[in-house]
Every structure is written in C-alpha cells, then in structure tokens.
C-alpha cells in the first residue's frame, strides 16, 4: 500500500489489508481460493491456412488451448458443436477458427452469427474485421440489425461472407425475406450461436422455433449448415443445445485457458436484531466493500439484481468516493439506458477511465469491457451460472482477482451462503425451454407458412402438424390445396410476434421536468409495479416521480424530485385450476400439475425511507387486472392436517413455507426469479384444502412448474433444511419471512407443517 496515495499495488496486497480488519473478517463466512491455472495448449493444426496462421501469430497466438483445438477438430469432422468454458477463455476462437479457415478455402461459403443483443454483435464484427485485416483477406463481415442503413443492407445480402445478427432480426427481417438472401442460404456452411444459455425460458422457446424456421429455409435452398454453439457454464449444455437446434451435438468443455488466482469470498452482513433476524442491509455492505476497493485504486464492478438497486448503490457510491475519484468515474449500467450512453460507459471501462461500474445482469453477457480486478455481487444473482458469469468479469490471465458475494436476507442467499459446498460442488442449474408451447409454436408456424408452404409429411415441432395446419386453415390463415398449405392472409405475421414477450410492449418514460425528453423504458410486466402513478423511478441515481401513467399508450410521464424514500408495490393474485394433467399423492400430501388461470392486479405501494428502510406511508394503485392462462403445479395438505391448527395458524404456516419454497425454486430452474410465482391458499377453490400453487408467468407455461412438480420431494427437504439452519428465533426475512408477515410463531408453524408431511409419508 502506497502510504501517500492510499492505493494498493495489487489485489493480493489489498486482500492482506482486508485480512487484518477483524470487523470485516468476522462477516466472511467462506473464502475459497481458486489457484492460478497454467495454460494447456497444443500446436496449431497443420492444415490451418498460412494467412490465418500468420494473422494469429500477429495477435500473439501460436498455440491453441485444448478446448479450442477440440472444437476445431469436431467441426472438421462435420459435427454440430457446443463449447462450454468460462468467461475470457478464448471462446470466440472456437468458432471463428473453423469459420475463417472455411472462408479462406472457399470464397463462396457463408456463415451466420447470432448473438442475443446488438451490442455483442458489434463487438464480434470488430474482432472479425481485425482478423480479416491482419490476413489481408477479402472477408466481408457485417452486422445486420435495426441500425443497418438501407443502402448497406443490399451489399450485405449479396456479398457478406459473415452476417452477424440477432434472433429478433432473423425472425422479422431475414427469414420472411429469404428470397433476398439467396446467396447466403445457398452457401451457408456454419451457423454460430453464442451465449446459448441466454436462450432459455420464453425467449429460448421462441428462438428454438426461429431455428426450426431457419433450418427449413436452408433445406429449401439445398444447404445443411453446421451449428457451432458456445455457452456459459450450465448443467445441461449439450441437452440444451440439442433441444434448441434439434440435432445431435458434440460437447467441448475441457478448458485449457490459463487463469490468474481467483478469490471467492462469501460475506454475510452482521445480524443487527437477533429477535427479528434482521441483518444489516446488503446494499450498505456491498457499498462499503466496493468503496474500499475503489478507494484503493482497484477497478471494480458491482452487480445488483434490480434496476432500483443499481440506482441506489450508484447514488451511495458516487457520494462516498466523490472526493477521491470524482463522481464521473463511477457509472451505472442497465437496460433502459439508451445505447449511446451504454457504448460510452463500455469504452470508459476498457480504457480504465471509468474505475467502477454498478450494473444489472446487462453486463453479464460477453460485452467487451475488458477484465476488471474485483467484483462485488450485491445478493446472489439468482443462478449459479450467473454468479460465475458475473464473477468472471473480474479476473485476468495474470494476477489475482476477487469476487465478493454479499448475501441479502433473501432465503436463497442465506441458504447458499451457509451451504457453500452446494455452491461449489453442485453443477449449476439447467436451462429449460418449451418450444412446443402451443401459443409459441402456432405463432412460428404462421411465420413459417408465410416463408414457405407446408406439405403433408413435413415436420415442425412436437405437436401433430396436420392438426395445427388444419386449425390455421379453419381460421382462414392458411389455404389448403391438395396436400399443401399456403399462407393466405394480408398480415405479415412476424410483425405481431415478439421473441421477447415484453420487448414489443415497452413503456416509454418521459421526463417533463424541462420540456419532454425520453429517459428510458420499462418492460410491460414490470410497469405496473415500477412506474405506477406516484412511484419513485430512479435513473442514473436521480429520483423521478411518476406523475401520469398512460397505460393504453404505454407512456409514463415523470418529473425530477428530491425525496428521502423509494417505493415498493404489491400485487394481489387469484388463481383457478382449469385442467389437471398429472397427479400423485404421498400420505397427507397431494400434488398436481396442470393448466391454471391467474388474475393479477397491483394493489398498493409502500413508501420506504432511504437508508433506514422503514415504511413511511402507502397509497393505492389503479391499474387493470391482467389475466394469464398458464401451467402450474400445486400440492395440498390433508384435512386432518388442517384440523390440527386454526385457520390463522394454517395461513401463517403456508405463507412461511411458500416464502421459503419460492426462493429455493431457482436452485432447480434456470429462470428469472419473476418467471415463476407462488400463491398459498388456506382453502383453495380447486382442492378445498390448504394449498400452495406455483405457476409459470407466461401464457401456456414454459416448463418451469412441471420441473418443480418433478423435484417436489427435494424441494421440501431443502425447505426444511433452510428453516432449521436459520439462526433467527421465530422467523426472519431469510427463512419464512419477517414476523410482521408470518407472525411470532411463523417459523414453528411452517416447520410443524413440514414435519407432518414427512412422518406420514
């Protein structure tokens, strides 16, 4: 440590300093050091084109890491490949190498690259162009997205060797106009799908259908491309890739890239009220750790789980370190910032001009921001895969890096921080998709019929195709002639179908503090709870109050304010069972899986004071009810079990158990925590018994509650372990919920309810 500047020479030195501070160290529950890993490399394959060899040499690449070589060989053998290695392991070369090699051998060959976001696509093009320049080869690489100017588009369609785009653009612009892309589709050799793990849930289910359409078009033009996929670490990369592209895939996961020493530190904020089980706020603790790092000159990224958290953390941090660094060197980053601002922040991070950034998972994907030294996770990111991805933002090939996981009082955080083996030992979660969700499938069937007529004997998805086609013919969308079905409607189907269900219906936020300017946007599902009237909306650390929400027009008008609270809204949910598909019972418990209708309506919002987080007021929210038909899983307790306790006690017990279960559910699913919801009912309409329901928050369901149905026993067991392991006396936010919510006996009630299920089964 330099005594004058207070800057640390290295992360290593900073960690020594940390170890000497007992007031911090007593909160460290677990410290895992991943030793530095030497590279495992093999020679470049002999048949690599001399130009490519030369270009790689100029970039300092004379060998391949083992995974790069394995992937190259698998591709050469003609197999579809999925590569799974951590952040910054030279993953892109796994697919760029075979692609460039092919283009050098055959100038007419074409490749299509898919990235989940525009920003990633642009990074990739820059990298490919650099390589092409080094080779002095005429390899034309272009992004094709909403920002591509019309005059450039035509050139790309005719002459682009590599077209880099996103699934949305493929869906709405390329496939429906495939006749303009004859050159691409006739000669397509490779389709690259990076960030494979991002295509899960609803989005992934849509993308799987877009790929069905893509393959159909390729077949029409007589091509049979290979898929080269890359994914972050998930439990089921091969299975996921195979479900997404519906082909047999070779898995490459033998990471040969070197890495510097990496410290993973679990940090549990101290308990400040043992009775209530209240810990110090994870926001304040994260802020403290981040400030400590930043003040020592260590470039740091802070991840927070929500946009609001990002803004709160940013405000605190900017204030805390403004004397040392100046507020501009700490920035926020999240969806809702306009692209220009985001690019500016990415550049600043790469150049080192920006020393710290507070982000949502928006920076989790492979956007190029260089490698930072330290990472602070404010709360468990929701999935183990995300945790590794985010923590991968810190870590260079040489020198140490550190990641802090600062637990919140959320039960899942507490469960993980007290069971670190579970975190390190267990392979991460599964990515799930449900491409045959009837609504999604039917939407893409329309698009596919628009693109090419269907013929008897064709296949598309898991449902019986002729039934679906006949249905569309009855709806007068398709026209049947003999054994063929033709699109016969005026509409352009892709326009009405968004792959990201929320994206097409974003609410625009308009600041009218001075004139009118667009501040950002919020997706439809978040709108009722984030930008209802009187809500405090935070943007770049500035507070705005929503003055008017124009729901039909999807606009929120806000004005800058300066208040000492933020707002938190709640939803009231009603639920009906329509159809039971699966059921089984064990002793007093009956569990079922089927179709449900959910009616949700935002009710009130609370005003919560900054820093102390006390409740200082509330107000109603007047917004229409949303109706959702989806799939759900539920289990109900026997009448004997309910006879044992009063209705009120049963309610507390159910609520407590539901709180624990919903937080644990993501251990088995790879989904946004908001994709799966829970509703406890003391006397459910359907079963007439005490019941806990789970449902997928997407019409038709996407397979999440079905998975929970399968994992039912494990789930309950984990719940019991969590409640027993919690250090609080009678219930806290880290297990069954705060005593304000579940009462003074909440913890015991939930435990006894659980015990009842076990003794009798």
Give residues in contact with other proteins (CB under 8 A).
176-179, 182, 438-439, 442, 449-453, 463, 467-468, 470-471, 476, 479, 481-482, 484, 486-493, 578, 595, 597, 626-629, 699-700
Q: Which is nearer to other proteins, 61 or 439 (CB)?
A: 439
Q: Decide: helix, strand or coil at residue 354.
A: coil
Q: Which is nearer to other proteins, 316 or 450 (CB)?
A: 450
Query: CA–CA distance from 234 to each of 198, 202, 230, 407, 430 (Å)?
Result: 11, 18, 11, 22, 6
Q: How far is the CB of 205 from other proteins (least distance, A)?
A: 14
Q: Which is nearer to other proteins, 315 or 630 (CB)?
A: 630
Mention every residue, 6+ apart, whose C-beta is less than 8 A from residue 23.
Answer: none
Q: How far is the CB of 442 from other proteins (least distance, A)?
A: 7
Q: Which is nearer to other proteins, 178 or 215 (CB)?
A: 178
Q: Which is nearer to other proteins, 284 or 488 (CB)?
A: 488
Taking a C-beta distance cutoff of 8 angstroms, is the pair 143, 164 a contact?
Answer: yes
Q: How far is the CB of 150 from other proteins (least distance, A)?
A: 11
Q: How far is the CB of 453 from other proteins (least distance, A)?
A: 7
Measured at the alpha carbon of residue 587, what is the angle toward residues 582 and 589, in degrees to the nearest 5?
50
Q: Which is nearer to other proteins, 168 or 285 (CB)?
A: 168
Q: How far is the CB of 191 from other proteins (least distance, A)?
A: 20
Q: How far is the CB of 175 from other proteins (least distance, A)?
A: 8
Q: Which is nearer to other proteins, 362 or 442 (CB)?
A: 442
> Which among 234, 285, 303, 292 is positioned nearest to 670, based on CA atoms?
234
Q: Decide: helix, strand or coil at residue 179.
A: helix
Q: Which is nearer to other proteins, 60 or 552 (CB)?
A: 552
- Alpha carbon 342 to its chain's center: 19
Taking a C-beta distance cutoff of 8 angstroms, is the pair 379, 410 a contact?
Answer: yes
Query: CA–CA distance from 349 to each of 223, 371, 436, 441 (Å)?
Result: 42, 9, 41, 41
Q: Which is nearer to other proteins, 91 or 178 (CB)?
A: 178
Report the distance separating Cα 191 and Cα 304, nearest Å: 34
Helices 712-725 and 647-664 cross at an angle (nearest 10°) of 100
Query: CA–CA distance from 264 to each of 31, 401, 625, 665 (Å)?
Result: 6, 9, 44, 24
Report the distance separating Cα 692 and Cα 735, nearest Å: 17
Q: How far is the CB of 440 from other proteins (least distance, A)?
A: 10
Q: Which residues pair with 628 in a beta bridge?
A: 598
Q: Which is nearer to other proteins, 602 or 756 (CB)?
A: 602
The residue assigned the tokens 């209708």 is 597
Residue 278: its H or E element: strand 278-279
Q: How far is the CB of 438 from other proteins (least distance, A)?
A: 6
φ/ψ of residue 298, rounded to 5? -95, 125
Helix residue spans in 419-548 (DSSP H): 420-425, 438-451, 465-474, 527-530
Count Cβ atoms within 10 A of the Cβ of residue 27 and give its class: 0-12 exposed, 13-18 middle, 19 or more buried: buried
DSSP 559-605: EE---SEEEEEEEEEEEEEEEEEEEEEETTEEEEEEEEEEEEEEEEE
Q: How far is the CB of 490 from other proteins (least distance, A)?
A: 4
Q: How far is the CB of 575 from other proteins (least distance, A)?
A: 14
Other Cβ atoms closer than 10 A to 666: 22
> Which among 85, 106, 80 is positioned nearest to 190, based on CA atoms?
80
Q: How far is the CB of 466 from other proteins (least distance, A)?
A: 9
Q: Which is nearer to other proteins, 57 or 177 (CB)?
A: 177
Q: Which is nearer to other proteins, 31 or 221 (CB)?
A: 221
Q: Which is nearer to other proteins, 95 or 698 (CB)?
A: 698
Report the distance separating Cα 565 and Cα 691, nearest Å: 36
Taking a C-beta distance cutoff of 8 angstroms, is the pair 378, 403 a contact?
Answer: no
Q: How far is the CB of 179 from other proteins (least distance, A)?
A: 4
φ/ψ of residue 154, rounded to 5? -65, -40
Report the distance separating Cα 497 and Cα 504, nearest Å: 8
Q: Which is nearer to other proteins, 409 or 630 (CB)?
A: 630
Measured at the alpha carbon of residue 133, what is the angle toward residues 130 and 136, in degrees to the nearest 5?
155
Q: How far is the CB of 465 from other proteins (least distance, A)?
A: 12
Report the distance separating Cα 106 and Cα 223, nearest Å: 15
Report the distance separating Cα 51 and Cα 57, nearest Å: 10
Q: How far is the CB of 566 from other proteins (least distance, A)?
A: 31
Strand pairing report for 110-114 and 226-231: unpaired
Q: Which is nearer to other proteins, 10 or 154 (CB)?
A: 154
Q: How far is the CB of 224 from other proteins (least distance, A)?
A: 17
Q: Decide: helix, strand or coil at residue 257.
A: coil
Q: Which is nearer to other proteins, 471 or 551 (CB)?
A: 471
Taking a C-beta distance cutoff of 8 angstroms, is the pair 494, 450 a contact?
Answer: yes
Q: Which is nearer to other proteins, 324 or 626 (CB)?
A: 626
Strand pairing report for 226-231 and 188-193: parallel
Q: Which is nearer to other proteins, 64 or 214 (CB)?
A: 214
Q: How far is the CB of 163 from other proteins (least distance, A)?
A: 18
Q: How far is the CB of 599 from other proteins (least distance, A)?
A: 11
> Which among 119, 9, 132, 112 is positioned nearest to 59, based on CA atoms?
132
Other Cβ atoms closer than 10 A to 709: 23
Q: How far is the CB of 463 from other proteins (least distance, A)?
A: 8
DSSP 504-525: GGPEEEEE-SSS-EEEEEE-TT
Report the distance separating Cα 353 and Cα 478, nearest Å: 57
Report the distance separating Cα 81 and Cα 457, nearest Å: 29
């Amino acid at each position: 440590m330099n005594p004058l500047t207070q800057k640390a020479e290295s992360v290593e030195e900073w960690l020594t300093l940390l170890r000497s501070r007992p007031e911090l160290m007593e909160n460290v529950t677990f410290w895992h050091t991943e030793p530095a890993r030497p590279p495992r490399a093999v020679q470049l394959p002999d048949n690599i084109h001399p130009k490519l060899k030369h270009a790689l040499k100029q970039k300092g690449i004379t060998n391949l890491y083992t995974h790069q070589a394995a992937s190259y060989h698998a591709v050469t053998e003609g197999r579809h490949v999925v590569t799974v290695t951590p952040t910054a392991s030279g993953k892109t070369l796994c697919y760029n190498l075979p692609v460039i090699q092919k283009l050098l051998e055959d100038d007419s060959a074409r490749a299509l690259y898919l990235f989940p976001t525009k920003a990633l696509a642009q990074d990739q093009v820059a990298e490919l162009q650099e390589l092409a320049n080094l080779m002095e080869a005429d390899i034309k690489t272009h992004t094709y997205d909403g920002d591509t100017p019309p005059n450039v588009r035509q050139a790309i369609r005719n002459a682009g060797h590599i077209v880099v785009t996103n699934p949305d653009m493929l869906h709405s612009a390329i496939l429906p106009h495939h006749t303009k892309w004859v050159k691409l589709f006739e000669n397509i050799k490779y389709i690259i799908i990076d960030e494979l793990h991002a295509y899960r849930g609803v989005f992934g289910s849509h993308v799987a259908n877009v790929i069905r359409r893509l393959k159909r078009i390729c077949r029409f033009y007589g091509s049979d491309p290979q898929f080269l996929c890359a994914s972050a670490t998930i439990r089921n990369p091969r299975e996921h890739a195979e479900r997404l592209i519906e082909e047999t895939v070779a898995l490459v996961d033998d990471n040969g890239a070197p890495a510097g020493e990496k410290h993973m530190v679990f940090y549990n904020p101290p308990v400040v009220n043992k009775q209530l089980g209240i810990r110090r706020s994870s926001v304040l603790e994260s802020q403290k750790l981040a400030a400590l790092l930043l003040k020592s000159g260590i470039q740091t990224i802070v991840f927070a789980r929500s946009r609001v958290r990002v803004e709160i953390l940013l405000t605190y941090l900017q204030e805390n370190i403004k004397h040392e660094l100046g507020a501009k060197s700490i920035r926020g980053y999240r969806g809702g910032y306009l692209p220009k601002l985001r690019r500016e922040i990415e550049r600043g991070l790469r150049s080192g001009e920006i020393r710290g950034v507070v982000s949502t998972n928006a920076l989790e994907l492979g956007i190029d921001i260089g490698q930072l030294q330290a990472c602070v996770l404010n709360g468990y990111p929701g999935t183990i895969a995300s945790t590794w991805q985010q923590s991968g933002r810190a870590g260079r090939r040489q020198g140490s890096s550190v990641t802090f996981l600062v637990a919140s009082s959320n039960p899942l955080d507490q469960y993980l921080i007290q069971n670190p083996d579970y975190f390190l030992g267990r392979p991460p979660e599964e990515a799930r998709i449900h491409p045959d969700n009837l609504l999604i499938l039917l939407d893409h069937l329309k698009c596919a019929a628009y693109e090419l007529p269907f013929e008897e004997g064709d296949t598309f998805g898991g449902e019986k195709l002729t039934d679906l086609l006949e249905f569309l013919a009855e709806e007068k969308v398709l026209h049947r002639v003999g054994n063929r079905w033709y699109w016969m409607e005026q509409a352009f189907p892709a326009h009405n179908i968004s792959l990201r269900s929320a994206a097409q219906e974003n609410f625009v936020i308009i600041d009218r503090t001075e004139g009118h300017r667009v501040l950002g946007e919020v997706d439809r599902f978040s709108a009722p709870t984030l930008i209802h009237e009187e809500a405090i909306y935070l943007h770049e650390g500035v507070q705005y109050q929503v003055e008017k929400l124009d729901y039909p027009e999807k606009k929120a008008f806000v004005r800058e304010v300066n208040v000492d609270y933020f707002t938190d809204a709640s939803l009231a949910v009603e639920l009906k069972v329509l159809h039971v598909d699966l059921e089984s019972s064990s002793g007093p418990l009956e569990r079922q899986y089927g179709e449900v209708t959910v009616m949700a309506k935002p009710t009130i919002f609370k005003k919560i004071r900054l820093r102390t987080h006390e409740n200082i007021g509330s107000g109603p929210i007047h917004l229409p009810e949303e109706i959702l038909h989806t799939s759900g899983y539920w289990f109900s307790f026997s009448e004997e079990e309910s006879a044992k306790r009063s209705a009120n006690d049963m309610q507390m017990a159910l609520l407590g158990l539901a709180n624990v279960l919903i937080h644990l559910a993501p251990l088995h699913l790879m989904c946004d925590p908001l994709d799966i919801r829970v509703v406890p009912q003391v006397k459910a309409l359907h079963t007439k018994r005490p019941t806990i329901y789970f449902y997928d928050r997407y019409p038709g369901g996407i397979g999440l509650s079905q998975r929970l149905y399968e994992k039912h026993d494990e789930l309950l067991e984990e719940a019991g372990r969590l409640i027993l392991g919690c250090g609080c006396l009678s219930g806290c936010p880290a297990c069954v919920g705060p005593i304000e919510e579940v009462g003074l006996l909440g913890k015991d009630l939930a435990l006894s309810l659980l015990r009842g299920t076990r003794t009798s089964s």
